[in-house]
Amino acid sequence: MLVHPPAMSADTRSFTIRVPATSANIGPGFDVVGLSLSLWLSLSVSVPATASSATYVPPRITHTGEGAGEVPLDPYKNLTSRVALYVLRCHAIPRFPSHLSLHCHNDIPFGRGLGSSGAAVVAGVLLANHVAALRLPAARLLDFALMVERHPDNVTAALVGGFVGSYLRELDDDAMARASVPLSEVLPEYPPDADEHWGLDPPPPVPPQGIGHYVRFGWSQAVKAIAIIPRFELSTAKARQVLPQAYSRKDMVFNLQRLAVLTTALGQTPPDPDLIYEAMKDRIHQPYRKSLIPGLPQVLALTPASHPGLLGICLSGAGPTVLALATHNFEQIAEDAKRIFKQAGVDVDWKLLEVGGGSEFLAH
Ligand SMILES: Nc1ncnc2c1ncn2[C@@H]1O[C@H](COP(=O)(O)OP(=O)(O)OP(=O)(O)O)[C@@H](O)[C@H]1O
Ligand SMILES: N[C@@H](CCO)C(=O)O
Protein backbone atom coordinates (compact mmCIF):
# COMPACT_ATOMS: atom_id res chain seq x y z
CA MET A 1 0.00 0.00 0.00
CA LEU A 2 1.45 3.36 -1.08
CA VAL A 3 0.98 6.05 1.55
CA HIS A 4 2.01 9.72 1.34
CA PRO A 5 1.30 12.30 4.02
CA PRO A 6 -1.81 14.38 3.30
CA ALA A 7 -1.38 17.78 1.65
CA MET A 8 -2.57 20.68 3.81
CA SER A 9 -3.61 24.05 2.49
CA ALA A 10 -4.92 26.99 4.50
CA ASP A 11 -8.53 26.04 3.87
CA THR A 12 -8.90 22.59 2.41
CA ARG A 13 -7.12 19.28 2.56
CA SER A 14 -7.60 17.16 -0.52
CA PHE A 15 -6.44 13.71 -1.54
CA THR A 16 -7.33 10.76 -3.74
CA ILE A 17 -7.74 7.14 -2.71
CA ARG A 18 -7.36 4.55 -5.48
CA VAL A 19 -8.47 0.97 -5.00
CA PRO A 20 -7.97 -1.75 -7.63
CA ALA A 21 -10.40 -4.27 -9.05
CA THR A 22 -9.74 -7.83 -7.95
CA SER A 23 -10.29 -11.33 -9.17
CA ALA A 24 -10.93 -13.94 -6.48
CA ASN A 25 -10.57 -17.74 -6.42
CA ILE A 26 -8.33 -18.13 -9.57
CA GLY A 27 -9.80 -21.61 -10.02
CA PRO A 28 -9.18 -23.79 -6.97
CA GLY A 29 -8.71 -21.06 -4.32
CA PHE A 30 -12.36 -20.43 -3.45
CA ASP A 31 -12.56 -17.72 -0.74
CA VAL A 32 -8.77 -17.99 -0.29
CA VAL A 33 -6.76 -16.34 -3.08
CA GLY A 34 -7.22 -13.14 -5.03
CA LEU A 35 -5.23 -10.84 -7.25
CA SER A 36 -5.43 -7.13 -7.96
CA LEU A 37 -6.00 -5.84 -11.48
CA SER A 38 -5.19 -2.56 -13.24
CA LEU A 39 -8.76 -1.25 -13.20
CA TRP A 40 -9.54 1.30 -10.54
CA LEU A 41 -12.03 2.98 -8.28
CA SER A 42 -10.77 6.53 -7.52
CA LEU A 43 -12.19 8.54 -4.66
CA SER A 44 -11.26 12.24 -4.65
CA VAL A 45 -11.79 13.76 -1.24
CA SER A 46 -11.87 17.35 -0.15
CA VAL A 47 -12.01 18.19 3.57
CA PRO A 48 -12.42 21.84 4.60
CA ALA A 49 -10.01 22.61 7.46
CA THR A 50 -12.64 24.66 9.25
CA ALA A 51 -16.41 24.58 8.85
CA SER A 52 -17.51 27.58 6.81
CA SER A 53 -20.85 27.84 8.60
CA ALA A 54 -22.25 26.94 12.00
CA THR A 55 -24.75 24.51 10.43
CA TYR A 56 -23.55 20.94 9.84
CA VAL A 57 -23.46 20.05 6.14
CA PRO A 58 -23.30 16.28 5.39
CA PRO A 59 -20.92 14.94 2.72
CA ARG A 60 -21.70 15.78 -0.88
CA ILE A 61 -21.15 12.72 -3.11
CA THR A 62 -20.78 12.63 -6.87
CA HIS A 63 -20.14 9.50 -8.94
CA THR A 64 -19.01 8.97 -12.52
CA GLY A 65 -18.17 5.87 -14.53
CA GLU A 66 -19.51 2.40 -13.73
CA GLY A 67 -22.57 2.60 -11.50
CA ALA A 68 -23.37 6.24 -12.31
CA GLY A 69 -27.10 6.80 -12.06
CA GLU A 70 -27.43 3.64 -9.96
CA VAL A 71 -25.25 4.31 -6.92
CA PRO A 72 -27.00 6.15 -4.08
CA LEU A 73 -25.49 9.61 -3.57
CA ASP A 74 -26.98 9.94 -0.10
CA PRO A 75 -24.02 9.50 2.30
CA TYR A 76 -26.18 7.43 4.63
CA LYS A 77 -27.02 4.97 1.84
CA ASN A 78 -23.86 4.88 -0.32
CA LEU A 79 -21.74 1.77 0.41
CA THR A 80 -18.38 3.59 0.59
CA SER A 81 -19.55 6.40 2.86
CA ARG A 82 -21.53 4.02 5.08
CA VAL A 83 -18.43 1.88 5.57
CA ALA A 84 -16.42 5.02 6.38
CA LEU A 85 -19.05 6.12 8.87
CA TYR A 86 -18.96 2.68 10.48
CA VAL A 87 -15.17 2.98 10.96
CA LEU A 88 -15.50 6.54 12.31
CA ARG A 89 -18.21 5.55 14.77
CA CYS A 90 -16.07 2.64 16.01
CA HIS A 91 -13.55 5.36 16.92
CA ALA A 92 -16.14 7.45 18.77
CA ILE A 93 -16.38 9.92 15.88
CA PRO A 94 -20.12 10.13 15.29
CA ARG A 95 -20.15 11.81 11.89
CA PHE A 96 -18.09 13.08 8.96
CA PRO A 97 -16.52 16.53 9.09
CA SER A 98 -18.92 19.17 7.80
CA HIS A 99 -18.77 20.10 4.11
CA LEU A 100 -16.85 16.97 3.08
CA SER A 101 -16.84 16.48 -0.68
CA LEU A 102 -16.42 13.00 -2.23
CA HIS A 103 -16.11 12.30 -5.94
CA CYS A 104 -15.98 8.65 -6.98
CA HIS A 105 -14.81 7.73 -10.46
CA ASN A 106 -15.28 4.01 -10.92
CA ASP A 107 -13.97 1.83 -13.74
CA ILE A 108 -14.94 -1.46 -12.06
CA PRO A 109 -18.21 -2.86 -13.42
CA PHE A 110 -20.77 -3.95 -10.84
CA GLY A 111 -21.72 -7.54 -10.14
CA ARG A 112 -19.30 -9.06 -12.65
CA GLY A 113 -16.82 -10.85 -10.37
CA LEU A 114 -14.23 -8.07 -10.48
CA GLY A 115 -14.53 -7.06 -6.84
CA SER A 116 -16.52 -3.84 -7.21
CA SER A 117 -18.07 -4.18 -3.75
CA GLY A 118 -14.73 -5.11 -2.17
CA ALA A 119 -13.16 -2.00 -3.73
CA ALA A 120 -16.00 0.19 -2.45
CA VAL A 121 -15.61 -1.28 1.04
CA VAL A 122 -11.82 -0.81 1.09
CA ALA A 123 -12.28 2.76 -0.20
CA GLY A 124 -14.65 3.42 2.70
CA VAL A 125 -12.21 2.07 5.29
CA LEU A 126 -9.37 4.16 3.81
CA LEU A 127 -11.62 7.21 3.61
CA ALA A 128 -12.30 7.08 7.36
CA ASN A 129 -8.63 6.37 8.09
CA HIS A 130 -7.46 9.46 6.21
CA VAL A 131 -10.32 11.85 6.97
CA ALA A 132 -9.91 11.32 10.71
CA ALA A 133 -6.12 10.65 10.64
CA LEU A 134 -6.68 7.34 12.44
CA ARG A 135 -3.31 5.96 11.22
CA LEU A 136 -4.58 2.38 11.32
CA PRO A 137 -2.07 -0.29 10.24
CA ALA A 138 -2.92 -2.50 7.25
CA ALA A 139 -3.95 -5.39 9.52
CA ARG A 140 -6.52 -3.21 11.28
CA LEU A 141 -7.82 -1.78 8.00
CA LEU A 142 -8.36 -5.36 6.93
CA ASP A 143 -10.31 -6.14 10.12
CA PHE A 144 -12.75 -3.36 9.32
CA ALA A 145 -13.12 -4.42 5.69
CA LEU A 146 -13.76 -8.00 6.85
CA MET A 147 -16.57 -6.94 9.16
CA VAL A 148 -18.41 -5.81 6.04
CA GLU A 149 -17.29 -8.21 3.28
CA ARG A 150 -17.01 -11.51 5.09
CA HIS A 151 -14.80 -13.42 2.66
CA PRO A 152 -11.19 -12.17 2.60
CA ASP A 153 -10.07 -12.85 -0.98
CA ASN A 154 -11.24 -9.64 -2.71
CA VAL A 155 -10.69 -7.12 0.08
CA THR A 156 -7.20 -8.40 0.95
CA ALA A 157 -6.02 -8.21 -2.66
CA ALA A 158 -7.67 -4.78 -3.06
CA LEU A 159 -5.96 -3.44 0.05
CA VAL A 160 -2.43 -4.83 -0.29
CA GLY A 161 -2.25 -5.60 -4.02
CA GLY A 162 -0.68 -8.45 -6.00
CA PHE A 163 -1.45 -12.15 -5.79
CA VAL A 164 -2.42 -12.92 -2.20
CA GLY A 165 -3.68 -15.76 -0.06
CA SER A 166 -5.59 -15.11 3.13
CA TYR A 167 -7.36 -16.87 5.94
CA LEU A 168 -9.69 -15.82 8.73
CA ARG A 169 -8.47 -16.52 12.26
CA GLU A 170 -10.68 -18.72 14.39
CA LEU A 171 -12.24 -16.34 16.89
CA ASP A 172 -13.16 -16.91 20.53
CA ASP A 173 -16.84 -16.78 21.45
CA ASP A 174 -16.89 -13.07 22.28
CA ALA A 175 -14.99 -12.06 19.15
CA MET A 176 -17.08 -14.44 17.06
CA ALA A 177 -20.23 -12.77 18.33
CA ARG A 178 -18.93 -9.39 17.17
CA ALA A 179 -17.79 -10.71 13.79
CA SER A 180 -21.10 -12.45 13.20
CA VAL A 181 -23.26 -9.38 13.60
CA PRO A 182 -25.61 -9.01 10.64
CA LEU A 183 -24.36 -6.51 8.10
CA SER A 184 -27.52 -4.48 8.63
CA GLU A 185 -26.28 -3.74 12.15
CA VAL A 186 -22.70 -3.02 11.15
CA LEU A 187 -23.88 -0.78 8.34
CA PRO A 188 -27.27 0.57 9.32
CA GLU A 189 -29.14 2.47 6.63
CA TYR A 190 -29.19 5.75 8.46
CA PRO A 191 -32.55 7.55 8.56
CA PRO A 192 -33.04 10.80 6.63
CA ASP A 193 -32.75 12.83 9.84
CA ALA A 194 -29.51 11.07 10.86
CA ASP A 195 -27.67 14.38 11.17
CA GLU A 196 -30.09 15.59 13.77
CA HIS A 197 -29.69 12.75 16.23
CA TRP A 198 -26.04 11.94 15.55
CA GLY A 199 -24.16 10.81 18.62
CA LEU A 200 -27.28 9.37 20.25
CA ASP A 201 -27.14 5.91 18.64
CA PRO A 202 -25.28 3.12 20.43
CA PRO A 203 -21.78 2.53 18.97
CA PRO A 204 -21.56 -0.25 16.37
CA PRO A 205 -19.74 -3.55 17.07
CA VAL A 206 -15.99 -2.92 16.90
CA PRO A 207 -14.16 -5.65 14.91
CA PRO A 208 -12.07 -8.16 16.86
CA GLN A 209 -8.31 -7.66 16.38
CA GLY A 210 -6.52 -9.72 13.73
CA ILE A 211 -9.44 -11.32 11.90
CA GLY A 212 -7.64 -11.73 8.60
CA HIS A 213 -4.08 -12.87 7.84
CA TYR A 214 -2.46 -12.89 4.44
CA VAL A 215 0.68 -13.60 2.47
CA ARG A 216 1.65 -12.23 -0.93
CA PHE A 217 2.81 -14.82 -3.47
CA GLY A 218 5.26 -14.18 -6.28
CA TRP A 219 3.84 -13.16 -9.65
CA SER A 220 5.67 -13.60 -12.95
CA GLN A 221 5.72 -10.28 -14.81
CA ALA A 222 5.23 -12.28 -18.01
CA VAL A 223 1.68 -13.17 -16.96
CA LYS A 224 -1.17 -10.81 -17.94
CA ALA A 225 -4.87 -11.15 -17.20
CA ILE A 226 -7.59 -11.05 -19.84
CA ALA A 227 -10.95 -10.22 -18.24
CA ILE A 228 -13.79 -11.44 -20.47
CA ILE A 229 -16.76 -9.56 -19.06
CA PRO A 230 -20.36 -10.56 -19.89
CA ARG A 231 -22.78 -7.66 -20.22
CA PHE A 232 -24.98 -8.89 -17.39
CA GLU A 233 -24.72 -8.74 -13.63
CA LEU A 234 -24.64 -11.69 -11.28
CA SER A 235 -24.70 -10.75 -7.63
CA THR A 236 -22.25 -12.53 -5.37
CA ALA A 237 -25.12 -13.39 -3.04
CA LYS A 238 -26.98 -15.21 -5.84
CA ALA A 239 -23.82 -16.99 -7.03
CA ARG A 240 -23.15 -18.24 -3.49
CA GLN A 241 -26.68 -19.57 -3.06
CA VAL A 242 -26.11 -22.26 -5.70
CA LEU A 243 -23.12 -23.74 -3.83
CA PRO A 244 -23.54 -26.89 -1.71
CA GLN A 245 -22.98 -26.89 2.06
CA ALA A 246 -20.68 -29.94 1.95
CA TYR A 247 -18.14 -31.45 -0.47
CA SER A 248 -16.65 -34.88 -0.96
CA ARG A 249 -13.12 -35.54 0.23
CA LYS A 250 -12.23 -36.30 -3.40
CA ASP A 251 -13.27 -32.83 -4.56
CA MET A 252 -11.54 -31.09 -1.63
CA VAL A 253 -8.28 -32.94 -2.33
CA PHE A 254 -8.62 -32.14 -6.04
CA ASN A 255 -8.70 -28.40 -5.23
CA LEU A 256 -6.06 -28.46 -2.47
CA GLN A 257 -3.56 -30.24 -4.70
CA ARG A 258 -4.03 -27.68 -7.45
CA LEU A 259 -3.98 -24.64 -5.17
CA ALA A 260 -0.71 -25.74 -3.57
CA VAL A 261 0.92 -25.90 -7.00
CA LEU A 262 -0.73 -22.79 -8.45
CA THR A 263 0.46 -20.33 -5.80
CA THR A 264 4.09 -21.03 -6.68
CA ALA A 265 3.66 -21.81 -10.38
CA LEU A 266 2.31 -18.32 -11.20
CA GLY A 267 5.48 -16.78 -9.76
CA GLN A 268 7.86 -18.78 -11.91
CA THR A 269 9.51 -17.34 -15.02
CA PRO A 270 8.92 -18.57 -17.63
CA PRO A 271 5.48 -19.77 -16.49
CA ASP A 272 4.73 -23.39 -17.34
CA PRO A 273 1.36 -23.75 -19.15
CA ASP A 274 1.21 -27.51 -18.59
CA LEU A 275 1.50 -27.04 -14.83
CA ILE A 276 -0.72 -23.96 -14.55
CA TYR A 277 -3.58 -25.02 -16.82
CA GLU A 278 -4.43 -28.08 -14.77
CA ALA A 279 -3.72 -26.21 -11.51
CA MET A 280 -6.45 -23.66 -12.34
CA LYS A 281 -9.19 -26.29 -12.45
CA ASP A 282 -11.80 -26.31 -9.72
CA ARG A 283 -14.52 -28.54 -8.27
CA ILE A 284 -15.76 -26.32 -5.45
CA HIS A 285 -17.62 -23.49 -7.16
CA GLN A 286 -17.34 -23.38 -10.96
CA PRO A 287 -19.34 -26.58 -11.67
CA TYR A 288 -22.27 -25.21 -9.66
CA ARG A 289 -22.16 -21.70 -11.12
CA LYS A 290 -22.25 -22.80 -14.76
CA SER A 291 -26.06 -22.94 -14.58
CA LEU A 292 -26.01 -19.14 -14.02
CA ILE A 293 -23.60 -18.33 -16.87
CA PRO A 294 -24.53 -19.58 -20.36
CA GLY A 295 -21.46 -20.63 -22.35
CA LEU A 296 -19.18 -20.96 -19.31
CA PRO A 297 -18.19 -24.64 -19.77
CA GLN A 298 -17.38 -24.04 -23.44
CA VAL A 299 -15.22 -20.98 -22.71
CA LEU A 300 -13.39 -22.80 -19.90
CA ALA A 301 -12.56 -25.49 -22.46
CA LEU A 302 -10.03 -23.22 -24.25
CA THR A 303 -6.57 -24.77 -23.77
CA PRO A 304 -2.91 -23.86 -24.24
CA ALA A 305 -2.89 -26.38 -27.12
CA SER A 306 -5.76 -24.65 -28.96
CA HIS A 307 -4.56 -21.18 -27.91
CA PRO A 308 -0.78 -20.82 -27.50
CA GLY A 309 0.07 -18.23 -24.85
CA LEU A 310 -2.86 -19.26 -22.65
CA LEU A 311 -1.78 -20.48 -19.20
CA GLY A 312 -5.12 -21.12 -17.53
CA ILE A 313 -8.72 -20.02 -17.50
CA CYS A 314 -11.28 -19.73 -14.70
CA LEU A 315 -14.29 -17.88 -13.39
CA SER A 316 -13.33 -14.51 -11.89
CA GLY A 317 -14.72 -14.35 -8.34
CA ALA A 318 -18.39 -15.21 -8.33
CA GLY A 319 -18.62 -14.50 -12.08
CA PRO A 320 -19.90 -13.96 -14.66
CA THR A 321 -16.47 -12.64 -15.81
CA VAL A 322 -13.98 -15.22 -17.05
CA LEU A 323 -10.30 -14.63 -16.29
CA ALA A 324 -7.74 -15.98 -18.76
CA LEU A 325 -4.09 -15.78 -17.70
CA ALA A 326 -1.72 -15.61 -20.66
CA THR A 327 1.73 -14.53 -21.78
CA HIS A 328 0.89 -13.60 -25.40
CA ASN A 329 -1.76 -14.07 -28.10
CA PHE A 330 -4.17 -12.05 -25.96
CA GLU A 331 -6.44 -10.85 -28.75
CA GLN A 332 -7.03 -14.28 -30.24
CA ILE A 333 -7.80 -15.80 -26.83
CA ALA A 334 -10.21 -12.97 -25.99
CA GLU A 335 -11.93 -12.88 -29.37
CA ASP A 336 -12.44 -16.65 -29.41
CA ALA A 337 -13.91 -16.52 -25.90
CA LYS A 338 -16.15 -13.69 -27.06
CA ARG A 339 -17.34 -15.73 -30.05
CA ILE A 340 -18.09 -18.76 -27.84
CA PHE A 341 -20.05 -16.63 -25.39
CA LYS A 342 -21.93 -15.06 -28.32
CA GLN A 343 -22.96 -18.54 -29.52
CA ALA A 344 -24.52 -19.04 -26.08
CA GLY A 345 -26.37 -15.71 -26.43
CA VAL A 346 -24.04 -13.70 -24.17
CA ASP A 347 -22.41 -10.43 -25.29
CA VAL A 348 -19.10 -9.65 -23.65
CA ASP A 349 -16.44 -6.96 -23.51
CA TRP A 350 -12.84 -7.82 -22.78
CA LYS A 351 -9.90 -6.01 -21.23
CA LEU A 352 -6.22 -6.86 -21.04
CA LEU A 353 -5.08 -6.05 -17.50
CA GLU A 354 -1.89 -6.07 -15.45
CA VAL A 355 -1.70 -7.81 -12.10
CA GLY A 356 -0.13 -5.67 -9.44
CA GLY A 357 -0.69 -2.64 -7.30
CA GLY A 358 -2.79 -2.30 -4.20
CA SER A 359 -4.65 0.65 -2.73
CA GLU A 360 -2.98 4.04 -2.95
CA PHE A 361 -3.27 7.32 -1.11
CA LEU A 362 -2.21 10.34 -3.16
CA ALA A 363 -2.03 13.80 -1.62
CA HIS A 364 -2.99 16.68 -3.93
N1 LIG B 1 -18.21 2.17 -6.10
C2 LIG B 1 -19.33 1.73 -5.50
N3 LIG B 1 -20.08 2.57 -4.79
C4 LIG B 1 -21.21 2.16 -4.20
N5 LIG B 1 -21.68 0.88 -4.25
C6 LIG B 1 -20.97 -0.01 -4.94
C7 LIG B 1 -19.75 0.37 -5.60
N8 LIG B 1 -19.25 -0.73 -6.19
C9 LIG B 1 -20.11 -1.74 -5.92
N10 LIG B 1 -21.15 -1.33 -5.17
C11 LIG B 1 -22.28 -2.15 -4.71
O12 LIG B 1 -21.88 -3.52 -4.75
C13 LIG B 1 -22.76 -4.28 -5.62
C14 LIG B 1 -22.01 -5.37 -6.35
O15 LIG B 1 -21.49 -6.29 -5.40
P16 LIG B 1 -21.32 -7.85 -5.71
O17 LIG B 1 -20.58 -8.42 -4.55
O18 LIG B 1 -22.62 -8.45 -6.05
O19 LIG B 1 -20.44 -7.91 -7.03
P20 LIG B 1 -18.92 -7.62 -7.29
O21 LIG B 1 -18.26 -7.13 -6.02
O22 LIG B 1 -18.83 -6.72 -8.45
O23 LIG B 1 -18.39 -9.04 -7.71
P24 LIG B 1 -17.42 -10.12 -6.94
O25 LIG B 1 -17.62 -9.93 -5.45
O26 LIG B 1 -17.88 -11.46 -7.41
O27 LIG B 1 -16.05 -9.83 -7.39
C28 LIG B 1 -23.31 -3.23 -6.57
O29 LIG B 1 -24.53 -3.63 -7.11
C30 LIG B 1 -23.45 -2.01 -5.65
O31 LIG B 1 -24.62 -2.12 -4.88
N1 LIG C 1 -14.82 -16.08 -3.18
C2 LIG C 1 -16.01 -15.33 -3.46
C3 LIG C 1 -15.64 -14.12 -4.26
C4 LIG C 1 -16.81 -13.24 -4.58
O5 LIG C 1 -16.33 -12.06 -5.05
C6 LIG C 1 -16.98 -16.17 -4.26
O7 LIG C 1 -16.55 -16.84 -5.19
O8 LIG C 1 -18.17 -16.19 -3.91
Do 49 and 97 have their domain in common?
yes
- What string of DSSP letters covers 308-349? TTEEEEEE-TTSS-EEEEESS-HHHHHHHHHHHHHHTT--EE
Do 230 and 305 have their domain in common?
yes
CA of 175 to the centre of ligand 2 (A): 24
Query: 306: which residues sit within 8 A by CB, 6+ positions away?
Result: none
Ligand 2 binding pocket mutation candidate from 35, 112, 122, 151 (most atoms within 8 A of CB): 151
Do 164 and 281 have their domain in common?
no
Q: What is the number of structural domains in the chain? A: 2
Do 141 and 247 have their domain in common?
no
CATH number of the structural domain spanning residue 144: 3.30.230.10
Would you say the pTM of this structure is higher than 0.95?
no
User: Which comes out higher in pLDDT, residue 48 or 220?
Assistant: 220
Residue 291 class from Cβ within 10 Å (0-12 exposed, 13-18 middle, 19+ buried)? exposed
Do 249 and 193 have their domain in common?
no
Q: Are 359 and 37 in contact (CB under 8 A)?
A: no
pLDDT in tens, 9-20: 457 899 999 999
Q: How confident is the model at residue 7 (pLDDT cuts 50, 70, 90)?
A: very low
CATH number of the structural domain spanning residue 296: 3.30.70.890
Do 34 and 155 have their domain in common?
yes
Examine the pLDDT at 328 and tell me if it is beyond 90. Answer: yes
Nearest CA to ligand 1 atom 5: 79
Q: How far is CA 28 from CA 15, 120, 262, 326, in A?
A: 38, 25, 9, 18
Q: Is 154 in the pocket of ligand 1 (CB under 6 A)?
A: yes
pLDDT in tens, 105-153: 999 999 999 999 999 999 999 999 999 999 999 999 999 999 998 889 9
Do 201 and 258 have their domain in common?
no
Do 271 and 134 have their domain in common?
no
Do 239 and 176 have their domain in common?
no
Ligand 1 binding pocket mutation candidate from 107, 110, 240 (most atoms within 8 A of CB): 110
Do 106 and 236 have their domain in common?
no
The closest alpha carbon to 340, from 297, 277, 310, 307, belongs to 297
The closest-lying atom of ligand 1 relative to the alpha carbon of residue 319 is: 26
227 lies in which domain range? 219-353
Do 36 and 70 have their domain in common?
yes
Do 205 and 224 have their domain in common?
no
pLDDT in tens, 245-301: 999 999 999 999 999 999 999 999 999 999 999 999 999 999 999 999 999 999 999
